[in-house]
Structure 1
Amino acid sequence: MSVLTVPSLPRPHTPLHRPLMYFAAANAALVVVGLIGMLVDDRVIAGSTAWFKPTKFAISFVFYSVALAWLMSLRPTLSRLTSAMATVVVVAGVIEQVIIFGQVIRGTRSHYNVTTTLDATLWVIMGSTIVILFLATLVIGIGLMRARLGDASITWSIRLGIAITLVGLALGNLMPQRESGVEGIAGAHTVGAPDGTPGMPLTGWSTTNGDLRIPHFFGMHALQALPLLAALLVVLAPRIPLLRSVRVRLGLIITASAGYAAVLALVTWQALRGQPLIHPDQATLTAAAAIVTGVVVGVLISVASAAGTRKVVTA
């Protein structure tokens, strides 16, 4: 019989990567700047308040940097290559933010903007840094995937989270390839209409058409969501004996990862068909129901895997 034990969260073995943490702190400050900008600046760029996009990017970079620094600290030793690639991520991110905030100050859009020679040059630089950021994250991800970081449930939440995040980052390439229908704009995130359609509160995602920012955002934050879920299961284990079985926790993580990947595929398909997230058609609802059913079955199988185990609680 399997023995149920009270698990614990993995402890950091190396210090948090300083450049990543400095970058996270700088972006936290930029969030404040962006929020103030939204309150005092009534300019509109590409259909939304001028400071909305840079604020979103700053928030995203805070979570991304902290999560990456924490995951790297779980490795027994931090290789020079991994540390160097994390620094490359920071440099690429700094360039992105300087351009994004700089363009807002100039009163024009940053993404896809080739209106003038300067705008086009800045957009080419942004496109290059995005590729560099992706490749650096890929190298870091491969290193993290090869390491055992905690028990099987924690380790696989990190591995699968990184894999899905890389897919989410890659999906960003769909946007520059789209025709904007606007002179001087080489790319678009809205499908079926020019950018600037009515947007959802907080996210700004289109409420009338498909929006490719949705799968990009959802996919890249698997790096935070799945390890946090694994950590939550570990934290709840002392109160829920069933979760003391690593087999159960691993099964739940695999199920959640499969469900996350399926939802990512669904929102990508939905966006590419020009359909807004909040107005799904019958095909989308049917696919969503199939995903929910699969997740429920996966949870039941995971729970059933603990049947017959002997509960032994260790101090």
Structure 2
Amino acid sequence: MNVLTRFVHAVRGWHRPLVLHAALMFGLAVFSAVAVFADDRLLLGEPVWAKPMKFGVAMGVYSLTLAWLLTRLTKGRRVGWWVGTGFALAGVLDVGAVAWAAAHGTFSHFNQDTDDVARTVQTVFSFGIMPLMLATLVIAILLLIQRTGDRALARALRAGLGLAFASMVVALWLSTSAGSAPRTEVDANGHTVSLVGAHGIGDPDGHGMALTNWSTTGGDLRVPHFVGLHAIQVLLAVTAILNVLATRRPWLRAERVRARLVGAAVFGYAGVFAVLTWQAKRGQSVLHPDAPTLVAFGAVVVLALVGAAATATAARRQTVELAAVHA
């Protein structure tokens, strides 16, 4: 049985609505990737289908992670099932609205026009965004009241979901505080559209880097939003790597050691998320950090590395001492 076959077999036991949702998202991402080349319409200099493609990939990865995570619950499994199902339905609505706007060559976010497409997207967003936040929060609370594995895994899951929730709060700032001054832009059909809000702070949208379209000339809250949303995947990868290394490094076999190392990774990741948010709110591009930002990043990295090094040194010393006692 190859890796793909084993993965498909395992997925069958995961939360089915979320698995189906992930499949739809990945399908949309593939369709959008083809449409990027087949449809030459541009929106603020970016292909109209680029946003649905990115949303499809991001939401697909996140929902697949939640689908697996809900199988780890030992308490509140029924609540978790319903919450996960609500997340899947809300996700379809939200990303569907993004794709609907792209198909019509207009803006999905910040669009204040009164035509049918804009009003449909506005209505969907008003109902769809809050369930995503609440579902993430409820699942995070369920994780806090139970053990879902060893201490390292539990710490990674709790911190990852906490950061994901924080990233969704940052996403709300996009519509309430980022670039709130009204402005007009031209959509892919040549129509003038009224926009209130922007991804960029200190500079309007349209000055973005390749692929991500994050602002190169101002702050951009999409950066911390992306980093926080995918914290759980990064922290799970750290946990998995430590588990693999533990088979070769005796000092890593103690559960508390791996938990402390994951804690150092959580501190570093959360610190980077906080600094990126602070940087964006000050209207500063992620590509052009000033001295205070660099100092903040440096402090986070140094403290995280010192914590990890102290844990590793103490664990190695204890392993050597125990080996000497039993020699």
TM-score (norm 2): 0.87
Query: 1:180 and 1:205 mapped to 2: Cα distance?
Result: 19
Query: 1:35 and 1:56 mapped to 2: Cα distance?
Result: 9
Aligned runs of 1:245-264 on 2, under 5 Å? 245-264=254-273
Query: 1:146 and 1:60 mapped to 2: Cα distance?
Result: 28
How far off is 1:135 after superposition?
Answer: 0.7
Query: 1:167 and 1:90 mapped to 2: Cα distance?
Result: 19
Aligned partner of residue 175 in structure 2, secondary structure = coil
CA contact (8 A) 2:17 2:85 kept: yes
Query: 2:144 and 2:125 mapped to 1: Cα distance?
Result: 28
Q: In the alignment, is residue 149 of structure 1 matched against residue 148 of structure 2?
A: yes
**What is the aligned partner in structure 2 of residue 300 from structure 1?**
309
Find the partner of 1:24 among 1, 22, 25: 22
**What is the aligned partner in structure 1 of residue 32 from structure 2?**
34
Gaps of 5+ in 1: 1-11
Aligned partner of residue 318 in structure 2, secondary structure = coil
Aligned partner of residue 102 in structure 2, secondary structure = helix
**What is the aligned partner in structure 1 of residue 299 from structure 2?**
290
Cα displacement string for residues 21-41 of structure 1 (whole angstroms, at most 9, x for unaligned residues): 011111111111011011111
How far off is 1:207 after superposition?
Answer: 1.2
CA contact (8 A) 1:247 1:305 kept: no
Q: In the alignment, is residue 100 of structure 1 matched against residue 98 of structure 2?
A: yes
**What is the aligned partner in structure 2 of residue 123 from structure 1?**
122
How far off is 1:223 after superposition?
Answer: 2.0
Q: In the alignment, is residue 242 of structure 1 matched against residue 238 of structure 2?
A: no
State the one-letter code of the partner of 1:27. Answer: M
**What is the aligned partner in structure 1 of residue 4 from structure 2?**
none
Cα displacement string for residues 104-151 of structure 1 (whole angstroms, at most 9, x for unaligned residues): 111101111111243144224213311111112211221122221111
How far off is 1:180 after superposition?
Answer: 4.5
How far off is 1:201 after superposition?
Answer: 2.2
Aligned runs of 1:1-315 on 2, under 5 Å? 15-76=13-74, 79-118=77-116, 119-177=118-176, 178=178, 179-183=180-184, 184-197=194-207, 199-306=208-315, 307-309=317-319, 310=322
Structure with more helix by fraction: 2
Aligned partner of residue 65 in structure 1, secondary structure = helix
Aligned partner of residue 73 in structure 1, secondary structure = helix
Task: List structure 1 runs of 4+ shifted beyond 3 angstroms.
Answer: none
How far off is 1:77 after superposition?
Answer: 5.8
Query: 2:64 and 2:245 mapped to 1: Cα distance?
Result: 23
CA contact (8 A) 1:165 1:219 kept: yes
> Aligned residues, how many?
298
Gaps of 5+ in 2: 1-9, 185-193
Query: 2:137 and 2:127 mapped to 1: Cα distance?
Result: 15
Query: 1:127 and 1:240 mapped to 2: Cα distance?
Result: 51
CA contact (8 A) 2:264 2:308 kept: yes
How far off is 1:72 after superposition?
Answer: 1.1
State the one-letter code of the partner of 2:288. Answer: H
CA contact (8 A) 1:47 1:195 kept: no
Query: 2:137 and 2:74 mapped to 1: Cα distance?
Result: 20
Query: 1:308 and 1:27 mapped to 2: Cα distance?
Result: 48
Cα displacement string for residues 188-209 of structure 1 (whole angstroms, at most 9, x for unaligned residues): 1100111111x22221111111
Query: 2:95 and 2:318 mapped to 1: Cα distance?
Result: 54
Query: 1:145 and 1:68 mapped to 2: Cα distance?
Result: 15
Aligned partner of residue 176 in structure 1, secondary structure = helix
Query: 2:110 and 2:123 mapped to 1: Cα distance?
Result: 9
CA RMSD of aligned residues (A): 1.7
Query: 1:208 and 1:63 mapped to 2: Cα distance?
Result: 29
Query: 2:254 and 2:224 mapped to 1: Cα distance?
Result: 33
Query: 2:99 and 2:284 mapped to 1: Cα distance?
Result: 30
Aligned partner of residue 201 in structure 1, secondary structure = coil
TM-score (norm 1): 0.90
Cα displacement string for residues 136-176 of structure 1 (whole angstroms, at most 9, x for unaligned residues): 22112211222211111111111111111111111111110
State the one-letter code of the partner of 1:182. Answer: R
